[in-house]
Amino acid sequence: MSTTATRVAPATLRTATGREATRWVTAHCREIPWLTTATVLTTVVGAALQVLPVLLLGRVVDGVVEGESRSVLLTVGVLMGAAALLGAVATAVSTYLIGRLGADLLARLREGAVRAVLGMPSARVEQVGRGDVLSRVGDDVAVLSKGIRMAIPTVFSAGVLVFIATVGMFGLDWRLGLAGAGALPAYALALRWYLPRSAPLYKKQRVAQADRAQALISGLNGIDTVRAYRLEDSVREQVTHESWRVRNYGIEVFRFFGRFVGRENRAEFIGLVLILVVGYALLEADAASLGEVAAAPLMFHRLFTPLGAIMFTFDEAQKSGASLTRLIGVLGEPAEERLVGDAGVTPADT
């Protein structure tokens, strides 16, 4: 008897891990360094220019309290307007570059996934089911394309803005910065509750969509057999069952995300209250200027918009992440199971 074990192909196409997906994206970003660098720089500059008017507003408050000349206040006002205008331009350029970078990555990924699928033997396609194959090169590509256009630019830009605004708050006064940082445990608890539960839920939703596609395709391909054996009701029931599964997962995802938003709002309330209390105490002790104390709540409030954008697009970003791992999983199908070409990815080490 041979001691060499026969490798049995899995019954479904593989799904890549988050680490594999990150490596693939990083590797392809390095292939276009000028676009990647320009995207990062414009995003950082745009975020800094959006935060600058809030810092200058604190300077205006202190100037009024100290009785500075009108020309100084006018100069600060002009700087605020220029910063806001340049920030808007930089943000627009950043959004365009993020979309262009994402479109380039999507084109490479889609080409590789289609090549991998076309290179599979028909026996492998029949083994995993046509629904799974078509859902990956069809539905998953569509979901990822939508995420690249909408969610991913928003999440990336908002994340950079949150970081810059946090640094700016500490720049006003480290004690006010620490007060704002008091909301971080609430944010961390919300994310710790949400992330481990959301990723498996999105994967189940994508699998359910693949099962629904498989039920539909099987029924349509075998329509003559279905009619000959009068299996219409059975096929219809199966399609209905799979459709209800997709619908139920969609409702569950929406409810779950709503609970996450409530926890994020709680964190915002905690941070704003802490900043107001600490700011009042610093003013009473004459340990900070009125401009600093006035700018700190505005700076923290400035975080609400990007954090809200992240929350309300996180649902789409999670879907995009699940689709990305499924598509990269197709690229990682064993090389010996392809008849043509190379999908452009090295299978992960096992």
Q: Return the DSSP state at 343.
A: -
User: Which CATH architecture does the domain made up of 18-337 adopt?
Assistant: Up-down Bundle (1.20)
Tokens of 271: 């941070």
Tell me the helices (H) and strands (E) count for the chain, helix number first.
13, 0
> Cα–Cα distances in Å, from 198 out to 211, 259, 271?
20, 12, 25
pTM: 0.63
User: Taking residues 22-35, what's their average pLDDT?
Assistant: 87
Looking at residue 316, its amino acid is E
Highest mean pLDDT among 53-67, 136-150, 191-205, 276-290: 276-290
User: Taking residues 298-325, what's their average pLDDT?
Assistant: 77
Residue 1's pLDDT band, with cuts at 50, 70 and 90, is very low
Tokens of 77: 């006002």
Of 73-77, 99-103, 346-350, the one with minimum mean pLDDT is 346-350
Q: Specify whether the CB–CB gap between 31 and 108 falls below 8 A.
A: no
pLDDT of residue 310: 75
pLDDT of residue 18: 80
Domain map of the chain by residue range? 18-337
Residues 6+ apart with CB under 8 A from 145: 106
Q: Report the C-alpha gap between 341 and 106 in whole angstroms.
A: 19
pLDDT of residue 264: 82
Q: Is the pLDDT of residue 349 over 50?
A: no
Q: Specify whether the CB–CB gap between 307 and 162 falls below 8 A.
A: yes
Q: Report the C-alpha gap between 311 and 317 in whole angstroms.
A: 10
Per-residue pLDDT tens digits for 226-279:
888 888 888 888 888 888 988 888 888 888 888 888 888 888 899 889 999 999
| Greater model confidence, 2 or 249 | 249
